[in-house]
Amino acid sequence: MKKIAVLTSGGDAPGMNAAVRAVVRKAIFEGLEVAGIYNGYQGLIEGKIENMELGSVGDIIQRGGTMLRSARCPEFRTVEGRDKAVEQIKAQGIEGLVVIGGDGSFKGAYELTKLGIPCVCVPATIDNDINGTEFTIGFDTALNTIIEAIDKIRDTATSHERTFIIEVMGRDAGDLALWAGLAGGAETILIPEEKYDIDDIVERLASGTGRGKKHSIIIVAEGVMSANELANILRETADIDIRYSVLGHVQRGGSPSVRDRVIASQFGSRAVEVLLTGQGGKAIGMQKHQVIDYNLEDVFTDDHDIDMKMYKLSQELSI
Ligand code: ADP
Ligand code: F6P
């Protein structure tokens, strides 16, 4: 293998830049040529490809977002779109591809691998919802952003003796809500993976007030319902002074945490090592503090599981 390429795709995540840097530097260290593909699969189809040097990825390890830009590309879901991508790859002499993104991007990489282009995938999404890896790049930074917001909201919630609902991202996955809720001492955490009961929420709020609590924090993942909807339901059910806050895309930005920079560096480097063995159709991940590689099929077979022990713990500690 003489030349590889790297792209970022899907929802961006803090630490993607650190992963791009690791891929480029590791490839050059191993004597490979390396190209950067701009705007994900869209840029691949359009041939937005540039050769990268050591300096191309200087001064980016600390930056959020992705210097390669990201995109969602409906055309790549079609056979014709993917054929155009393969043509571009061949025209550029690229023999392997590192795809940095979420599970949608991984599906695209799987299709490309089936067309004879070995792809290795690096998990990067704030949602932490990729099967086979305990952590994805961006999750830790997003959690730190959420915690900062919870702590600030707690100040004003206490001053006014209010209940606050904080809506976090996660359409299908509750990891952000669960981890942030546990770390932020939330009274109630609503996640897409678990049923909720409005009467139970109201009871918990009342019991907190009964023992003199000055405020309550409820974390809701966007996939359950909007914070506004939940506030209306609670107001109809009980006489509660309630406010809400939607954190939105602020969770996707910001300088990556130490943890995200470190795993991004490890994952990016390992992806190049796997490509060098000639293997495609692989994902990189973390299990029990070890960087691992595994088959992309294993990402798609199961539904993403929530850590139920952690969910129970959050309930036990917020009585
Ligand atoms: P993420 O990677 O963050 O999960 P998306 O689900 O939007 O984000 O996927 C990113 C891109 O990956 C899509 O816009 C599309 O180009 C490509 N993709 C997703 N699913 C498939 C699929 N089943 N086949 C081919 N390409 C796909
Ligand atoms: O997948 C990451 C994520 O941030 C989700 O948590 C969120 O629902 C979604 O992306 C929003 O994506 P966008 O606004 O880019 O369409």
Q: What is the 3-state secondary structure (H, E, C) of 266-315?
A: HHHHHHHHHHHCCCCCEEEEEECCEEEEEECHHHHHCCCCCCHHHHHHHH
**Predicted local confidence at residue 303, as pLDDT:** 77
pLDDT tens, the chain, 319 aa long: 999 999 999 999 999 999 999 999 999 999 999 999 999 999 999 999 999 999 999 999 999 999 999 999 999 999 999 999 999 999 999 999 999 999 999 999 999 999 999 999 999 999 999 999 999 999 999 999 999 999 999 999 999 999 999 999 999 999 999 999 999 999 999 999 999 999 999 998 888 888 888 889 999 999 999 999 999 999 999 888 999 999 999 999 999 999 999 999 999 999 999 999 999 999 999 999 999 999 999 999 877 889 999 999 999 998 7
What gap in Å lies between CA 166 and CA 189, rounded to an integer?
10
What pLDDT digit, counting tens, does each position of 27-67 carry? 999 999 999 999 999 999 999 999 999 999 999 999 999 99
Element (H, E) at 99: strand 96-101
Binding pocket residue ranges, ligand 2, CB within 6 Å: 11, 102, 125-127, 169-171, 222, 252
Q: Are residues 64 and 107 in the same domain?
A: yes
Instruction: Indicate if 112 and 261 belong to the same structural domain.
Output: yes
117 and 242 together in one domain: no
Residues 246 and 276 in one domain: no
Distance (Å) from CA 9 to ligand 1 centroid: 8
Nearest CA to ligand 1 atom 14: 72
Q: Residue 113 C-alpha to ligand 1 middle, in angstroms?
A: 14
* Cβ within 8 Å of residue 232, ≥6 positions away: none
Ligand 1 centre from 276 Cα, in Å?
25
Residue 317 inside a domain? The answer is no
Domain that holds residue 166: 140-252
Is residue 318 in a domain? no
Is position 279 within any domain? yes
Q: Which atom of ligand 1 is nearest to the CA of 125?
A: 3
Which pLDDT value is given to residue 207? Answer: 86
How much distance in Å is there from the Cα of 122 to the middle of ligand 1? 14
How many domains does the chain fold into?
A: 2
Q: What is the pLDDT of residue 79?
A: 97
pLDDT value of position 304: 80
- Residues 266 and 133 both lie in one domain: yes
Q: Has residue 12 been placed in a domain? A: yes
**Ligand closest to CA 246:** 2
Å from CA of 103 to ligand 1 middle? 7
Q: Whose CA is nearest to atom 16 of ligand 1?
A: 73
Q: Is residue 312 one of the residues assigned to a domain?
A: no
pLDDT at 96: 98
Same domain membership, residue 28 and residue 132: yes
Q: Measured between alpha carbons, how far is residue 46 from residues 5, 43, 85, 121 in Å?
A: 15, 5, 8, 21
Do 194 and 51 belong to one domain? Answer: no
64 & 47 share domain: yes
125: Cβ contacts below 8 Å, ≥ 6 apart: 10, 11, 13, 101, 102, 103, 136, 137, 138, 139
Q: Which atom of ligand 1 is nearest to the CA of 71?
A: 14
128 and 232 share a domain? no
Give me the half-sphere count of Cα atoms (radius 13 Å) on the Cβ side of residue 54: 4
- Looking at the CA of residue 42, tell me the nearest atom of ligand 1: 16
Q: What is the pLDDT of residues 63-78, one digit of tens each?
A: 999 999 999 999 999 9
Together in a domain, 241 and 260: no
Residue 75 Cβ < 6 Å to ligand 1: no
- The Cα–Cα gap between 71 and 52 comes to 20
CATH of the domain at 109: 3.40.50.450
Residue 241 annotated to the active site = no
Residues 214, 120: one domain?
no
Which pLDDT does position 122 carry in this prediction?
99
**Ligand 2 pocket test target in 16, 139, 171 with most atoms within 8 Å of CB:** 171
Same domain, 21 and 57: yes
Asked if residue 9 has its Cβ within 6 Å of ligand 1, the reply is: yes
Distance from Cα 226 to the centre of ligand 2, integer Å: 14
Active-site entry in 127, 129, 140, 175: 127
Q: Is residue 308 part of a domain?
A: no
Q: Does residue 165 belong to any structural domain of this protein? A: yes
Nearest CA to ligand 2 atom 2: 11
Nearest-ligand number for the alpha carbon of 113: 1
pLDDT value at residue 208: 85
Examine residue 98 and state whether it is found in any structural domain, yes or no. Answer: yes
Domain at 171, CATH number: 3.40.50.460
Residue nearest to atom 7 of ligand 1 (CA): 10
The reported pLDDT for the residue numbered 59 is 98
Residue 305, pLDDT score: 84
- H/E segment holding residue 18: helix 16-29
